[in-house]
Structure formats: structure tokens, C-alpha cells
Chains A and B, each alone.
Chain A
Amino acid sequence: MIQVVERWSWISLHRNQNFFLILLKNCSKGVNELERHRICAAFSAAFPYTTPILAGFVFLGIAYGIYMNSLGFSAIYPILMSLTIFAGSMEFVAANLLLGSFQPMNALLLTLMVNGRHLFYGLSMLEKYKRLGKKKHYLIFGLCDESYAINSTVKIPDHVDKGWFMVFVTLLNHFYWVLGSAIGGIFGSFIQFNTEGIEFVMTALFVVIFVDQWMKEKKHEIAIIGLGVSIFSLIIFGGQNFILPSMAGILIVLTVLKRPLEKRGAISA
């Protein structure tokens, strides 16, 4: 464990990790010595992998909290939503939904569409999350993009407990996101500068993820279909009603074009 800590010479990182470790040791007092050692070792192995997410989630979380605050929501909204939804892009969309008229089915369908990618994450984690008992439920609950990215790619050292490692990756990410949202939501109202235009942070987030995906794909048919159908439907149906027709349109076009798309190699598999 000391070796793992030593590899990370960044001093503030040290302090953070020591703080968490002490906290962890106190929390696990009832657990026997060996088990506690196993848990701490898994934490020490997991924490370094989450540090990039620490920066990203705290920053985006603060932006989300300030954004919610600027829309007139008290801090409890971003905090509760980050705790229970734990899906960044959907939470930004949720803020917009909460401002509109009451359409619960619409909200559910839009969520399924926006978070549809999680189905894919789940499918590829079926094997890894097997035989983890109770831990599995939390791991699936917290299967956001970033937790998936780490847990699906990192080669966990043999001496580290894999279940605890993945739990800590997920738990730390969850914690960073709630922490950021809380800071933004609570201190958003104390901000003195003019926050007009802060809502653009959502557009910027989606554009950045979109550009990342675009550059990763060799063929751009699917991205163009998504953009094309959505823009078409926005023009025809208007801003308030375009989402359901867009989703239906995208599903139909992708289903009809399944064969040609696969032939053209527009799909990576």
C-alpha cells in the first residue's frame, strides 16, 4: 500500500488520499483486520485512476449547481438529483424538463433515449460484475460513462480485490459529482459576477462529447442521421414537441438502414 502511495508524489494528492484512508479506517472499525486491509488496499489502488475524474466532475458539478441556481432551484435539487440520477448530461436536460410543463412519460422516454448507451455498457460488463454479491447492485446503479471507462479498461492488479476496486472507482466518482453539484448549488447564490449565458455550459458539454465521438468514428453516417432527423423534426414540430418525433424518426431510419449501414462499415463491430 505504501508503495502505491509513493508512486503518486503530488503532495495534495497525498493529503487527500491520507484523509480518505483515515476516514475509511475509522468507518470500518467493526470489520476484522484482514478484511480492513483488503479494503484499504483496493482504495489505494482505485483512487489514482479517479483523479482526472475528480477535476472534471467537480468542475462540471459546480457548473451544474450554478446553472440550477441561476434557473431558480435551491441547492437541494442539484444535490438530490446528482445523488439519485448520477448521469451528468441527463441532469442538465432534467433541469430544462423541470421548467417546462408536466409531462412525466415524455421525461421517461427522453431519459431512455439519452441514457440508452448505458444498455451497451451493461451488456459489456455482464461478465465483470458477475459473482460480486451485494456490491453488484451499487456498481450497476453507478454505471456512468466515467465509471464504465475506468472499470472496463483498467487491468486490476492480482493482489487487489476486484469487487472493492470497482466499488471505490464508482463511489469516488459519485462523491466528486455530488460534491461539485453541492458546491455550485450552495455557493451559486453568492456569486457576484453576471452569470447570464452560463446555460451554454450544457451545449458546450454535448458538443465536446459529440466532437470526440465524431473524431473517433471513421464513417459519420450515424452522427449525420441523428443530427439530420433531429433538425428536420425541430423545424417541423417546433422546440416544445420535437423530441418524441425525433426519437421515433431516428429509430425508424436506423432500423430501415441497418443492412446498408452495416455493409458500408458505418458500425465499428
Chain B
Amino acid sequence: MTMTITQQLITIIMIVLGTMLTRFLPFIVFPPNKTTPRYIQYLGEVLSLAALALLVVYCFKDVGFLTGSHGFPEIISVAVVILLHVWKGQMLLSIAGGTLFYMLLVQTIF
């Protein structure tokens, strides 16, 4: 670990602060009887999905597609997660199934 304890604490505090800001801000900025600007409403609607897409890509930031296993275990396991989820639609099953499958792949084949 490259950070000192203090730096870790500051990082965690920033994350707490950021999270609390997203939760408290609407209640601070918009008193109950004021209407929300259109652009903010629009961002509220579209940003969550776009940010989720960013998170999915974020998980692949350290996968070397040109070296090692070329990201095959990751791609196959994501496919397993998607198939399981479209087929059964049970969140926990899809997550547990996909993770166990990935662990099996990286521990035995790749």
C-alpha cells in the first residue's frame, strides 16, 4: 500500500463527503416549494445510467488485453453473468455464479 494512514483517512473522508453531498444537496438547494431547473432534472435522469456504464468500464481498467490472458477470463465471465441474469433474473445468483466461474477460470485454466 502506497498511502499513509492519514492519506487513507483523508481519501475515505472525501468519499464520505462526496456521498453525503449527493444525498443532502437536493434538500439544501431545493426547499420543498421550489421547482427544480430543467437541466438539473435532465442530468439527474441521464447521469445515473451513464455513470453506471463508466463503472462497468472502470472494472476493466487493469485488464491487459494485449498481454497475459488477453482479458479472456474477464470477457467470458461477464458473458456468464449477463446470460445468467437474462435467464434467471436473480441478482445474487448472477453475481455469485459469475464470480465463482471467474475464480475457477483464473485458478485452473488461465
Contact = CB atoms under 8 A, between A and B. Distances in A.
A150 interface: no
Interface centre among A110, A198, A208 (most CB of B within 10 A): A208
B23 A118 contact: yes
B99 A201 contact: yes
Contacts of B16: 84-85
Nearest to B80: A204
Given A211-B86, A258-B42, A119 B106 contact: no
A186 interface: no
Interface residues of B, number: 70
A116 B55 contact: no
Interface centre among A200, A208, A258 (most CB of B within 10 A): A200
A230 B58 CA distance: 8
A207 B18 contact: no
Contacts of A90: 15, 19
B57 A117 contact: no
Interface string B67-100: 0000001100110011001100001101110110
Interface string A234-248: 100001101100110
B103 A80 contact: no
B48 A203 contact: no
Interface string B22-53: 11111100101000100111111111111111
A55 to B, nearest CB: 7
B92 A56 contact: yes
Which secondary structure dominates where chain B touches chain A?
A: helix
Given A204-B81, A227-B53, A243 B58 contact: yes
A113 B54 contact: yes
Contacts of A85: 12, 15-16, 19
B12 A80 contact: yes
A200 B2 contact: no
B52 A119 contact: no
Given A140-B27, A197-B105, A204-B94, A84 B12 contact: yes
A225 to B, nearest CB: 6
A93 interface: yes
Contacts of A104: 10-11, 14
A201 B19 contact: no
A127 interface: yes
B95 A99 contact: no
A129 B56 CA distance: 32
Interface of B: 1-3, 7-8, 10-12, 14-27, 30, 32, 36, 39-62, 73-74, 77-78, 81-82, 85-86, 91-92, 94-96, 98-99, 102-107
5 contacts: A72-B1, A98-B12, A111-B17, A112-B18, A250-B50
Minimum-distance CB pairs A-B, first 6: A226-B53, A111-B18, A122-B26, A117-B48, A226-B50, A239-B61
